Chain A
Amino acid sequence: MTGRVIVVTSGKGGVGKTTASANIGLALAASGPSVALVDMDIGLRNLDILMGLENRVVYNLVDVVEEKCKLRQALVKDKRLPNLNLLPAAQTRDKTAVNADQMKKLTEELKGMFDYVLIDSPAGIESGFQNAIAGAEEAVVICTPEMSAVRDADRVIGLLEARKDEISQYRLIINRIRPHMVKSNDMMSVQDVLEILSVKLLGVVPEDDQVIVSTNKGEPLSGSSDNQKAGQAYRNIAKRLQGEEVPFLNLDAMDATWFTKVVKFFNPARV
Protein backbone atom coordinates (compact mmCIF):
# COMPACT_ATOMS: atom_id res chain seq x y z
CA MET A 1 0.00 0.00 0.00
CA THR A 2 1.22 3.50 -0.77
CA GLY A 3 -0.96 6.12 0.83
CA ARG A 4 -1.14 9.83 0.20
CA VAL A 5 0.48 12.06 2.80
CA ILE A 6 -1.40 15.35 3.10
CA VAL A 7 -0.46 18.12 5.54
CA VAL A 8 -3.12 20.53 6.82
CA THR A 9 -1.53 23.89 7.56
CA SER A 10 -2.27 27.62 7.77
CA GLY A 11 0.47 29.78 9.27
CA LYS A 12 -1.96 31.60 11.51
CA GLY A 13 -3.38 29.88 14.56
CA GLY A 14 -7.06 29.53 15.31
CA VAL A 15 -8.29 29.44 11.71
CA GLY A 16 -9.55 25.85 11.95
CA LYS A 17 -6.69 23.49 11.05
CA THR A 18 -7.53 20.90 13.67
CA THR A 19 -11.27 21.11 13.01
CA ALA A 20 -10.58 20.65 9.31
CA SER A 21 -8.24 17.70 9.94
CA ALA A 22 -10.81 15.93 12.13
CA ASN A 23 -13.68 16.53 9.72
CA ILE A 24 -11.81 15.64 6.55
CA GLY A 25 -10.33 12.55 8.21
CA LEU A 26 -13.72 11.30 9.33
CA ALA A 27 -15.39 12.06 5.99
CA LEU A 28 -12.60 10.29 4.07
CA ALA A 29 -12.77 7.22 6.29
CA ALA A 30 -16.59 7.16 6.07
CA SER A 31 -16.33 6.72 2.31
CA GLY A 32 -14.11 3.65 2.59
CA PRO A 33 -10.35 4.31 2.56
CA SER A 34 -8.19 3.79 5.62
CA VAL A 35 -7.05 7.02 7.24
CA ALA A 36 -4.41 7.99 9.80
CA LEU A 37 -4.79 11.37 11.48
CA VAL A 38 -1.46 12.61 12.84
CA ASP A 39 -1.44 15.37 15.44
CA MET A 40 1.85 17.22 14.93
CA ASP A 41 1.08 19.99 17.40
CA ILE A 42 3.48 18.58 19.97
CA GLY A 43 2.92 20.06 23.42
CA LEU A 44 -0.52 21.41 22.47
CA ARG A 45 -2.45 18.22 21.76
CA ASN A 46 -6.02 18.86 20.62
CA LEU A 47 -7.02 16.57 17.77
CA ASP A 48 -7.89 13.80 20.29
CA ILE A 49 -10.48 16.12 21.89
CA LEU A 50 -12.16 16.94 18.60
CA MET A 51 -12.34 13.24 17.78
CA GLY A 52 -13.67 12.40 21.26
CA LEU A 53 -10.72 10.06 21.81
CA GLU A 54 -8.92 11.84 24.65
CA ASN A 55 -9.59 9.00 27.11
CA ARG A 56 -8.06 6.38 24.85
CA VAL A 57 -4.63 7.92 24.36
CA VAL A 58 -1.89 5.72 25.81
CA TYR A 59 1.23 6.37 23.74
CA ASN A 60 1.98 9.26 21.43
CA LEU A 61 4.00 10.33 18.39
CA VAL A 62 7.09 11.17 20.43
CA ASP A 63 7.02 7.72 22.09
CA VAL A 64 7.02 6.17 18.61
CA VAL A 65 9.89 8.34 17.41
CA GLU A 66 11.88 7.55 20.55
CA GLU A 67 11.07 3.86 20.10
CA LYS A 68 9.36 3.57 23.47
CA CYS A 69 6.53 1.77 21.71
CA LYS A 70 5.57 0.35 18.34
CA LEU A 71 3.66 2.57 15.90
CA ARG A 72 0.65 0.23 16.10
CA GLN A 73 0.52 0.60 19.88
CA ALA A 74 0.33 4.37 19.67
CA LEU A 75 -2.46 4.47 17.09
CA VAL A 76 -5.88 5.07 18.64
CA LYS A 77 -8.74 3.47 16.75
CA ASP A 78 -11.76 5.71 16.21
CA LYS A 79 -14.97 4.82 18.08
CA ARG A 80 -17.12 5.13 14.98
CA LEU A 81 -14.96 3.89 12.12
CA PRO A 82 -12.43 1.07 12.48
CA ASN A 83 -10.54 2.29 9.39
CA LEU A 84 -9.84 5.66 11.04
CA ASN A 85 -6.86 5.97 13.40
CA LEU A 86 -5.34 8.80 15.39
CA LEU A 87 -1.67 9.21 16.19
CA PRO A 88 -1.80 11.67 19.10
CA ALA A 89 0.79 14.35 19.82
CA ALA A 90 2.70 14.33 23.09
CA GLN A 91 1.24 16.78 25.56
CA THR A 92 4.19 17.16 27.93
CA ARG A 93 6.97 17.57 25.36
CA ASP A 94 7.71 20.32 22.85
CA LYS A 95 8.33 20.51 19.13
CA THR A 96 12.10 19.99 19.54
CA ALA A 97 11.34 16.39 20.60
CA VAL A 98 11.27 15.31 16.93
CA ASN A 99 13.14 16.35 13.79
CA ALA A 100 12.38 16.37 10.07
CA ASP A 101 14.21 13.11 9.32
CA GLN A 102 12.30 11.28 12.03
CA MET A 103 9.04 12.63 10.64
CA LYS A 104 9.93 11.49 7.14
CA LYS A 105 10.61 8.01 8.45
CA LEU A 106 7.34 8.00 10.40
CA THR A 107 5.22 9.13 7.44
CA GLU A 108 6.92 6.49 5.25
CA GLU A 109 5.82 3.83 7.69
CA LEU A 110 2.27 5.24 7.91
CA LYS A 111 2.04 5.38 4.11
CA GLY A 112 2.55 1.65 4.05
CA MET A 113 -0.37 1.11 6.41
CA PHE A 114 -3.02 3.65 5.32
CA ASP A 115 -4.60 5.07 2.15
CA TYR A 116 -4.51 8.59 3.58
CA VAL A 117 -2.14 10.09 6.12
CA LEU A 118 -3.48 13.49 7.24
CA ILE A 119 -1.02 15.59 9.21
CA ASP A 120 -2.41 18.35 11.41
CA SER A 121 0.35 20.97 11.49
CA PRO A 122 0.94 23.40 14.36
CA ALA A 123 0.55 27.14 13.75
CA GLY A 124 3.61 29.16 12.78
CA ILE A 125 6.33 28.57 10.20
CA GLU A 126 9.14 27.43 12.47
CA SER A 127 10.41 23.96 13.33
CA GLY A 128 7.00 22.50 14.24
CA PHE A 129 5.66 23.44 10.83
CA GLN A 130 8.85 22.30 9.10
CA ASN A 131 8.55 18.90 10.80
CA ALA A 132 4.88 18.65 9.81
CA ILE A 133 5.59 19.24 6.12
CA ALA A 134 8.79 17.11 6.10
CA GLY A 135 7.13 13.93 4.89
CA ALA A 136 4.15 15.48 3.08
CA GLU A 137 3.45 15.13 -0.63
CA GLU A 138 0.39 17.38 -0.76
CA ALA A 139 -0.82 20.28 1.33
CA VAL A 140 -4.14 21.77 2.30
CA VAL A 141 -3.85 25.42 3.33
CA ILE A 142 -6.61 26.81 5.55
CA CYS A 143 -7.44 30.47 5.86
CA THR A 144 -10.36 32.62 6.88
CA PRO A 145 -11.37 35.71 4.86
CA GLU A 146 -9.45 38.00 7.23
CA MET A 147 -6.38 40.00 6.29
CA SER A 148 -4.04 38.46 8.87
CA ALA A 149 -5.06 34.90 7.96
CA VAL A 150 -4.67 35.59 4.23
CA ARG A 151 -1.25 37.13 4.74
CA ASP A 152 -0.07 34.14 6.79
CA ALA A 153 -1.52 31.73 4.23
CA ASP A 154 0.45 33.54 1.53
CA ARG A 155 3.64 33.10 3.53
CA VAL A 156 2.96 29.38 3.96
CA ILE A 157 2.20 29.02 0.25
CA GLY A 158 5.56 30.65 -0.50
CA LEU A 159 7.29 28.09 1.74
CA LEU A 160 5.38 25.20 0.15
CA GLU A 161 6.30 26.43 -3.33
CA ALA A 162 9.96 26.39 -2.32
CA ARG A 163 9.53 22.63 -1.76
CA LYS A 164 7.87 21.94 -5.11
CA ASP A 165 9.93 18.77 -5.60
CA GLU A 166 8.50 17.14 -2.49
CA ILE A 167 5.05 18.76 -2.27
CA SER A 168 3.38 18.23 -5.62
CA GLN A 169 0.26 20.26 -4.99
CA TYR A 170 -1.40 22.54 -2.49
CA ARG A 171 -4.98 23.71 -2.38
CA LEU A 172 -6.87 26.22 -0.27
CA ILE A 173 -9.82 25.88 2.08
CA ILE A 174 -11.55 29.13 2.93
CA ASN A 175 -13.07 28.69 6.35
CA ARG A 176 -15.70 30.61 8.30
CA ILE A 177 -17.09 32.60 5.44
CA ARG A 178 -20.12 34.67 6.47
CA PRO A 179 -22.31 35.10 3.38
CA HIS A 180 -24.34 37.96 4.85
CA MET A 181 -21.17 39.97 5.53
CA VAL A 182 -19.91 39.34 2.00
CA LYS A 183 -23.27 40.49 0.67
CA SER A 184 -23.06 43.73 2.63
CA ASN A 185 -19.47 44.23 1.39
CA ASP A 186 -18.07 44.02 4.90
CA MET A 187 -15.98 40.88 4.33
CA MET A 188 -13.77 39.57 1.53
CA SER A 189 -15.46 36.97 -0.64
CA VAL A 190 -14.14 33.60 -1.77
CA GLN A 191 -13.35 35.12 -5.15
CA ASP A 192 -11.49 38.02 -3.53
CA VAL A 193 -9.26 35.67 -1.52
CA LEU A 194 -8.59 33.46 -4.54
CA GLU A 195 -7.67 36.47 -6.63
CA ILE A 196 -5.26 37.70 -3.94
CA LEU A 197 -3.59 34.34 -3.32
CA SER A 198 -3.78 32.89 -6.87
CA VAL A 199 -4.20 29.37 -5.63
CA LYS A 200 -6.45 26.40 -6.39
CA LEU A 201 -9.57 26.11 -4.24
CA LEU A 202 -10.32 22.86 -2.43
CA GLY A 203 -13.36 24.01 -0.51
CA VAL A 204 -15.39 26.71 1.17
CA VAL A 205 -16.69 26.21 4.70
CA PRO A 206 -19.37 28.57 6.03
CA GLU A 207 -19.35 29.87 9.60
CA ASP A 208 -21.39 27.38 11.58
CA ASP A 209 -22.22 27.42 15.33
CA GLN A 210 -22.49 23.65 15.18
CA VAL A 211 -18.68 23.42 14.91
CA ILE A 212 -18.42 24.40 18.59
CA VAL A 213 -21.22 22.02 19.55
CA SER A 214 -19.49 19.16 17.74
CA THR A 215 -16.14 19.91 19.42
CA ASN A 216 -17.87 19.83 22.80
CA LYS A 217 -19.37 16.45 21.97
CA GLY A 218 -16.22 15.03 20.40
CA GLU A 219 -18.10 14.18 17.22
CA PRO A 220 -16.88 15.88 14.03
CA LEU A 221 -19.74 17.35 12.01
CA SER A 222 -18.86 15.57 8.80
CA GLY A 223 -19.74 12.26 10.50
CA SER A 224 -23.49 12.78 10.38
CA SER A 225 -25.49 13.71 7.32
CA ASP A 226 -27.68 16.05 9.40
CA ASN A 227 -25.39 19.04 9.17
CA GLN A 228 -25.82 20.78 5.86
CA LYS A 229 -23.43 23.69 6.42
CA ALA A 230 -19.86 23.03 7.63
CA GLY A 231 -20.43 19.26 7.76
CA GLN A 232 -21.55 19.14 4.14
CA ALA A 233 -18.65 21.39 3.12
CA TYR A 234 -16.16 18.97 4.70
CA ARG A 235 -17.82 15.95 3.11
CA ASN A 236 -17.46 17.71 -0.25
CA ILE A 237 -13.80 18.46 0.47
CA ALA A 238 -13.17 14.78 1.21
CA LYS A 239 -14.77 13.87 -2.13
CA ARG A 240 -12.62 16.42 -3.99
CA LEU A 241 -9.49 15.02 -2.33
CA GLN A 242 -10.49 11.64 -3.74
CA GLY A 243 -10.68 13.13 -7.23
CA GLU A 244 -14.44 13.55 -7.46
CA GLU A 245 -15.73 16.76 -9.01
CA VAL A 246 -18.16 18.42 -6.66
CA PRO A 247 -19.46 21.92 -7.43
CA PHE A 248 -18.59 24.60 -4.88
CA LEU A 249 -21.39 26.00 -2.78
CA ASN A 250 -21.94 29.45 -4.15
CA LEU A 251 -22.01 31.38 -0.92
CA ASP A 252 -21.33 34.69 -2.62
CA ALA A 253 -24.37 34.49 -4.84
CA MET A 254 -26.79 37.26 -4.17
CA ASP A 255 -30.47 36.64 -4.30
CA ALA A 256 -31.95 39.13 -6.70
CA THR A 257 -34.65 40.31 -4.38
CA TRP A 258 -36.67 43.44 -5.08
CA PHE A 259 -34.45 45.28 -2.63
CA THR A 260 -31.15 44.45 -4.31
CA LYS A 261 -32.72 45.36 -7.64
CA VAL A 262 -33.58 48.80 -6.26
CA VAL A 263 -30.04 49.22 -4.94
CA LYS A 264 -28.63 48.18 -8.29
CA PHE A 265 -30.82 50.73 -10.04
CA PHE A 266 -29.42 53.54 -7.90
CA ASN A 267 -25.86 52.37 -7.67
CA PRO A 268 -24.72 49.48 -9.88
CA ALA A 269 -21.27 49.53 -8.27
CA ARG A 270 -22.65 48.32 -4.96
CA VAL A 271 -24.24 45.09 -6.11
Chain B
Amino acid sequence: MQLLDWLFRKSSDDARSKAKDRMKQMLIHDRLELPPDRLSSLEEELVAVVCRYFDIDRDTTRFDLQQYERKASLIANFPLVRSKT
Protein backbone atom coordinates (compact mmCIF):
# COMPACT_ATOMS: atom_id res chain seq x y z
CA MET B 1 0.00 0.00 0.00
CA GLN B 2 2.83 2.37 0.82
CA LEU B 3 4.21 1.97 -2.67
CA LEU B 4 0.82 2.78 -4.18
CA ASP B 5 0.52 5.81 -1.92
CA TRP B 6 3.89 6.99 -3.08
CA LEU B 7 3.07 6.41 -6.73
CA PHE B 8 -0.21 8.28 -6.65
CA ARG B 9 0.55 10.95 -4.08
CA LYS B 10 0.04 14.42 -5.51
CA SER B 11 3.32 16.20 -6.00
CA SER B 12 2.18 19.26 -4.06
CA ASP B 13 1.92 17.13 -0.91
CA ASP B 14 5.60 16.31 -0.70
CA ALA B 15 8.04 17.99 1.69
CA ARG B 16 9.97 19.62 -1.13
CA SER B 17 6.93 21.37 -2.68
CA LYS B 18 5.62 22.32 0.75
CA ALA B 19 8.93 23.91 1.69
CA LYS B 20 9.10 25.78 -1.62
CA ASP B 21 5.57 27.16 -1.36
CA ARG B 22 5.99 28.15 2.28
CA MET B 23 9.35 29.77 1.52
CA LYS B 24 7.96 31.87 -1.32
CA GLN B 25 5.10 33.24 0.75
CA MET B 26 7.28 33.79 3.79
CA LEU B 27 9.97 35.70 1.89
CA ILE B 28 7.45 37.95 0.15
CA HIS B 29 6.11 38.91 3.56
CA ASP B 30 9.63 39.27 5.02
CA ARG B 31 10.86 41.50 2.20
CA LEU B 32 7.82 43.78 2.30
CA GLU B 33 7.71 43.69 6.11
CA LEU B 34 4.08 42.78 5.63
CA PRO B 35 2.10 41.59 8.66
CA PRO B 36 0.22 38.34 7.97
CA ASP B 37 -3.32 39.79 8.25
CA ARG B 38 -2.66 42.93 6.19
CA LEU B 39 -3.32 41.30 2.83
CA SER B 40 -6.73 39.95 3.76
CA SER B 41 -7.89 43.34 5.02
CA LEU B 42 -6.72 44.92 1.76
CA GLU B 43 -8.65 42.26 -0.14
CA GLU B 44 -11.81 42.99 1.84
CA GLU B 45 -11.57 46.70 1.15
CA LEU B 46 -10.83 46.24 -2.54
CA VAL B 47 -13.68 43.78 -2.98
CA ALA B 48 -16.01 46.26 -1.28
CA VAL B 49 -14.98 48.99 -3.74
CA VAL B 50 -15.28 46.78 -6.82
CA CYS B 51 -18.66 45.52 -5.62
CA ARG B 52 -20.02 49.07 -5.70
CA TYR B 53 -19.57 48.97 -9.48
CA PHE B 54 -19.88 45.30 -10.40
CA ASP B 55 -21.32 42.00 -9.30
CA ILE B 56 -18.29 39.76 -9.05
CA ASP B 57 -17.86 36.03 -8.91
CA ARG B 58 -16.46 35.55 -5.41
CA ASP B 59 -15.75 31.83 -5.97
CA THR B 60 -13.14 32.46 -8.64
CA THR B 61 -11.69 35.66 -7.22
CA ARG B 62 -7.93 35.49 -7.05
CA PHE B 63 -5.91 37.68 -4.77
CA ASP B 64 -2.32 36.94 -3.93
CA LEU B 65 1.30 38.04 -3.98
CA GLN B 66 3.75 36.75 -6.51
CA GLN B 67 7.49 37.09 -6.80
CA TYR B 68 9.41 38.01 -9.91
CA GLU B 69 13.18 38.30 -9.56
CA ARG B 70 13.39 39.78 -6.06
CA LYS B 71 10.31 42.00 -6.45
CA ALA B 72 6.80 41.21 -5.32
CA SER B 73 3.61 41.98 -7.24
CA LEU B 74 0.03 41.97 -6.12
CA ILE B 75 -2.11 39.87 -8.45
CA ALA B 76 -5.84 40.55 -8.12
CA ASN B 77 -8.38 38.98 -10.41
CA PHE B 78 -12.06 39.75 -9.86
CA PRO B 79 -14.16 37.97 -12.49
CA LEU B 80 -17.01 40.38 -13.34
CA VAL B 81 -20.57 39.14 -13.76
CA ARG B 82 -22.40 42.36 -14.65
CA SER B 83 -22.17 46.04 -13.92
CA LYS B 84 -24.37 47.51 -11.30
CA THR B 85 -26.93 50.02 -12.36
> Which one of A150, A155, A198, A263 contacts B67 once the chains associate, using CB atoms below 8 Å?
A198
Contact surface of B with A, Cβ cutoff 8 Å: 7-11, 14-17, 19-20, 22-24, 26-27, 30-31, 67, 69-70
> Contact at B19–A198, with CB atoms within 8 Å?
no
> Contact at A187–B16, with CB atoms within 8 Å?
yes
Is A243's CB within 8 Å of the partner chain B?
no
* Chain A contacts with B in 241-271, Cβ cutoff 8 A: 263, 266-267, 269-270
> Contact at B9–A186, with CB atoms within 8 Å?
no
| The stretch of A76-84, A129-137, A188-196 that contacts the partner chain | A188-196
> Contact at A154–B31, with CB atoms within 8 Å?
yes
> Contact at B7–A263, with CB atoms within 8 Å?
yes
Q: Which residues of B contact A147 (CB under 8 A)?
A: 19, 22-23, 26
Contact surface of A with B, Cβ cutoff 8 Å: 147, 150-151, 154-155, 157-158, 161, 182, 185-189, 192, 195-199, 263, 266-267, 269-270
When C-beta atoms are compared, the residue in chain A nearest to B31 turns out to be A158
Contact count A vs B, C-beta below 8 Å = 61
> Contact at A155–B7, with CB atoms within 8 Å?
no
A110 to B31, CA, bound (A): 35
A195 to B20, CA, bound (A): 9
> Contact at A154–B27, with CB atoms within 8 Å?
yes
Distance in angstroms from A144 CB to nearest chain B CB is 12
> Contact at B30–A198, with CB atoms within 8 Å?
no
Distance in angstroms from B71 CB to nearest chain A CB is 9
Distance in angstroms from A251 CB to nearest chain B CB is 14
Can you list 25 A-B contacts with CB-CB less than 8 angstroms, sorted by A residue number?
Answer: A147-B19, A147-B22, A147-B26, A150-B27, A151-B23, A151-B27, A158-B31, A185-B11, A185-B16, A186-B15, A187-B19, A188-B20, A189-B16, A192-B19, A195-B20, A196-B67, A197-B27, A197-B70, A198-B69, A198-B70, A199-B70, A266-B8, A267-B9, A267-B11, A270-B9
> Contact at A196–B24, with CB atoms within 8 Å?
yes
